[in-house]
Amino acid sequence: MTAKKILLLPGDGIGTEVTAELRKVIDWFQTTQRTNFDLSEDLIGGASYDVHGTPLTAAAIAKAKSADAVILACVGGPKWDKVPFAVRPEAGLLSIRKEMGLFANLRPAVVFDVLAGASTLKADLVAGLNIMIVRELLGGVYFGEPRGIETLPNGERRGFNTQSYTTSEIHRVAHVAFELARKRGNKVHSVEKANVMESGILWREEVIKLQQSTYKDVELLHMYADNCAMQLVRNPKQFDVIVTDNLFGDVLSDLASMLTGSLGMLPSASLGAKEASGRQAALYEPIHGSAPDIAGKGVANPLALILSYAMMLRYSFDMTANADLLESAVQNVLAAGVRTRDIVEAGQTPVSTIAMGDAVLKELARLAA
Ligand code: NAD
């Protein structure tokens, strides 16, 4: 079998620091022959702009498109604040998502029991929490036409956007949600505002149709987006998989991420359509940015990126044992009180980025022995 191709994009700020720790983890899986990946690395964001004058070169796009999975750390920083909008580091991010056709954004909100105290909610409400939010990423009101700002005959200005979804756009993201649910708790909450929006009515009808035709074994529930926001803070453990549109997903996934306490712990995945060969474009990245306030200080938490790698093992390559091993190693390291600054608790001394990477490696070796 040919080796699966993985493209690593460290990006900017703390990106290079956390990627160095991920590299160690990747190398451990390679040298212990648990994986056989063909790895390459390229520039994105400000790092690419500095060298090539663009945040993402055509060559990097081609590499990303031909890779079996892409791992991206983060982009951006004050150094590029005055750079023209079209070539800002963040433009590289939007461009890679679009070029790879990534329409489903998977944002897990997982609370490791030992970190339940870091949540702003009561520990018993969030301990053991494991939600997956599937957000539609390429449609809806962020892309719908017509859009714009116009001046009305009476001199008033009017801003407008269009919320729009087609059946195929709804089906492809709902497919992802149902498939994920089958690998998890077998339950999907479909979230919209069918009470006030036609696009929400269509969304609900089409999700029901798909479930009836293909996923009768998966439990399907419906919830209005405003109620979902309330339920996420009232009783978050009622959810398994939530599937929703671009706008509601943007808000609800940020809300859900805060249930877990720290930005430095949260991975994400963005997926494209499954080809006939079974291959599916996939980009894995932490939800955090380049953290300019701590970049270069060696204190960033590398776990969100390391957990993004675990997601890749699980979802792109069905390497469940490897993903479980890595997630267990992270969990044990946290339970032993090894914490970077962002997740440190009273009485603990924070460790560096490198020390956190080393602790994960040591635990991997111990678990595998
Ligand atoms: P940010 O996520 O970079 O930082 C927010 C706060 O969280 C900061 O205090 C930071 O120190 C902390 N933090 C983030 N990641 C951490 C980690 N791994 N370990 C410890 N602490 C961590 O968000 P921001 O400050 O709003 O944005 C900074 C830059 O990143 C901007 O240029 C922004 O455009 C960019 N950004 C990029 C992405 C991405 O690459 N996907 C996402 C968000 C923001």
Q: How far is 220 from 23, CA to CA, in rounded Å?
A: 40
Confidence of residue 117 (pLDDT cuts 50, 70, 90): confident
How far does residue 312's CA lie from ligand 1's centre (Å)?
Answer: 21
Question: Do the strands 130-136 and 104-110 form a parallel or antiparallel pair, or are they unpaired?
Answer: antiparallel
How far does residue 289's CA lie from ligand 1's centre (Å)?
Answer: 3
Residue 330 neighbours by CB distance under 10 Å: 23
Confidence of residue 271 (pLDDT cuts 50, 70, 90): very high
The answer to whether the CB of 169 falls within 8 A of the CB of 135 is no
Q: How far is 364 from 198, CA to CA, in rounded Å?
A: 51
pLDDT given at position 346:
84
Q: How far is 84 from 241, CA to CA, in rounded Å?
A: 39
> Which two tokens mark 259?
């249930």
Q: Which residues are catalytic?
A: 142, 193, 226, 250, 254
Q: How far is 173 from 177, CA to CA, in rounded Å?
A: 7
Q: How far is 216 from 164, CA to CA, in rounded Å?
A: 27
Lowest average pLDDT, out of 181-195, 196-210, 341-355, goes to 341-355
pTM for the structure as a whole: 0.90
How far does residue 358's CA lie from ligand 1's centre (Å)?
Answer: 23
Domains in the chain: ranges and CATH: 1-108+263-369 (3.40.718.10), 120-260 (3.40.718.10)
Could you tell me which residue, 143 or 31, shows the higher pLDDT?
Answer: 31
How far does residue 210's CA lie from ligand 1's centre (Å)?
Answer: 37
Residue 195 neighbours by CB distance under 10 Å: 11
Whether the CB of 343 sits within 6 Å of ligand 1: no
Whether the CB of 83 sits within 6 Å of ligand 1: no
Q: How far is 9 from 85, CA to CA, in rounded Å?
A: 21
341 Cα nearest atom in ligand 1: 20
Query: What's the mean pLDDT when you consider all of the chain?
Result: 95
The answer to whether the CB of 249 falls within 8 A of the CB of 105 is yes
To 10 degrees, what angle do helices 353-368 and 320-335 make?
120
Whether the CB of 305 sits within 6 Å of ligand 1: no
Q: What is the pLDDT of residues 198-219, one digit of tens each?
A: 999 999 999 999 999 999 999 9
Whether the CB of 291 sits within 6 Å of ligand 1: yes
Going by alpha carbons, the residue nearest to atom 44 of ligand 1 is: 289
In the chain, DSSP finds a helix count (H) and a strand count (E) of 12, 12
* Structure-token match 């956007």, residue found: 161
pLDDT given at position 264:
86
Going by alpha carbons, the residue nearest to atom 23 of ligand 1 is: 289
Q: What is the average pLDDT across 296-314? A: 97
Q: How far is 363 from 268, CA to CA, in rounded Å?
A: 23
Q: Tell me the β-bridge partners of 157.
A: 151
Confidence of residue 1 (pLDDT cuts 50, 70, 90): low
